Structure formats: structure tokens, C-alpha cells
């Protein structure tokens, strides 16, 4: 009986060991493939993401020079670049760009918020910007919500010397045949901008 129990015990242990070995092998193979592909994907994804993020940061900081610049004007130590002016299906034009403070002192965009009483609550913003359609002899002001807040960038805390910051402003769209307008804000000279059709 002892021999029988011992043989049965060994058989059971051998079966358990083989089963465990097979399970671990299958799990190891399966886990290795999944883990390997996950690791490959995740290790290459972060590498790509890191590269993409770095590229985006570089492009963001170099957008006036690396990205196309539709127009650029300078006055009072400020450089304003317009990088896009897209017509959207909703009946408005979104203008985007950058402002670089080369004045040597902090700039708060006080004269960019506009003279209208309704715009006084917008603080240092680009609310006073306009698009002028020379051919149609029409001026388009920045869109606002029902409380008078502009659909545009607010320069919270101002722009420090040497800094470049991005801005945007939304305007009612000129007629579809109009492809060129003048963008103006504050005491900056007007800049001729070509409107492109949005997607």
C-alpha cells in the first residue's frame, strides 16, 4: 500500500508539475507576446510621443518662423504675427498668431481691449481687434457673448520682456468671395491677411 500511495503521489505530483509547467509556458509565451507587443508599442509610443511633444513644443515656440506667417507687423517693441485666418462653416473667421514683447518691460495689452464701454470688462485682451474688408468697405469686430466677453485671448498677467505668446480672435465671416482682409489691433499697423477655407 505504501508503494501504491507513493506511486500515486508521484504520479499526481508529476501531473501537477507538468500541468503547472505547461500553464506557465503558455502564460509566459502569451504574456511575452502581449507584453512584448505592449512594451514595443508602449516603449515606441512614449518615444514617439516624447518626440512629438518636443516637436510640438519646438514648433509652438518657433511658430512665427517655422510655421507659415501670413503677416507680421511691429510697433512699440511689439511684434505681432498672424499665422492663420480660417473661415469656418459656422459663419465666422478664426484668426490666430503670436505676439512677441521686445519692449524691455512688461506689456499688459491695455490698449488692445478696445474703446467700447462693453469691452472694458475684458481686461488685457485682444478684444479691440478688427478685420477690414477694403473691397466690401466693411469692418468686422471681435465676436462677443451676451455678457460682453470677447471670443478672443486674454493676456492674463501680461507678456514679460522677451516672451512670445499665442493669441486668437473670432470675427463674423466676410462674404465668401472675400479672401483678403486687413487685421488691426491697438496702435499696431494694419496687416493684410488672406482667409483660407476651414475644414
- Per residue in 36-54, pLDDT (tens digit) is 444 444 333 344 444 444 4
How far apart are the C-alpha atoms of 3 and 9, rounded to whole Å? 10
pTM of the predicted protein model: 0.64
Q: How confident is the model at residue 198 (pLDDT cuts 50, 70, 90)?
A: low
pLDDT in tens, 4-24: 544 445 554 444 445 455 444
**Alpha-carbon gap, residue 199 to 196, rounded angstroms:** 10
Count the Cβ atoms, other than its own, within 10 Å of residue 80.
25
Contacts of 141 (CB under 8 A, 6+ apart): 114, 130, 171
CATH number of 71-197: 2.60.40
pLDDT of residue 95: 96
What's the confidence (pLDDT) of residue 78?
94
Q: What element of type H or E holds 12?
A: helix 2-66
Tens of pLDDT, residues 118-175: 777 777 889 899 999 988 899 999 999 888 888 999 988 889 999 999 999 999 999 9
Amino acid at each position: 500500500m505504501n508503494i501504491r500511495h507513493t506511486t500515486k503521489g508521484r504520479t499526481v505530483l508529476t501531473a501537477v508539475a507538468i500541468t503547472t509547467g505547461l500553464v506557465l509556458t503558455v502564460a509566459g509565451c502569451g504574456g511575452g507576446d502581449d507584453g512584448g507587443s505592449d512594451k514595443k508599442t508602449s516603449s515606441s509610443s512614449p518615444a514617439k510621443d516624447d518626440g512629438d511633444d518636443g516637436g510640438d513644443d519646438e514648433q509652438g515656440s518657433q511658430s512665427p518662423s517655422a510655421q507659415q506667417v501670413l503677416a507680421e507687423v511691429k510697433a512699440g517693441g511689439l511684434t505681432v504675427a498672424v499665422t492663420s485666418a480660417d473661415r469656418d462653416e459656422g459663419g465666422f473667421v478664426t484668426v490666430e498668431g503670436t505676439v512677441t514683447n521686445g519692449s524691455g518691460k512688461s506689456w499688459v495689452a491695455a490698449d488692445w481691449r478696445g474703446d467700447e464701454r462693453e469691452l472694458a470688462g475684458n481686461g488685457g485682451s485682444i478684444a479691440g481687434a478688427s478685420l477690414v474688408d477694403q473691397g466690401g468697405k466693411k469692418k468686422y469686430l471681435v465676436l462677443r457673448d451676451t455678457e460682453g466677453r470677447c471670443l478672443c485671448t486674454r493676456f492674463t498677467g501680461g507678456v514679460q520682456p522677451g516672451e512670445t505668446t499665442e493669441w486668437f480672435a473670432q470675427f463674423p465671416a466676410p462674404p465668401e468671395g472675400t479672401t483678403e482682409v486687413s487685421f488691426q489691433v491697438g496702435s499696431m499697423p494694419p496687416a493684410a491677411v488672406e482667409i483660407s477655407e476651414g475644414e
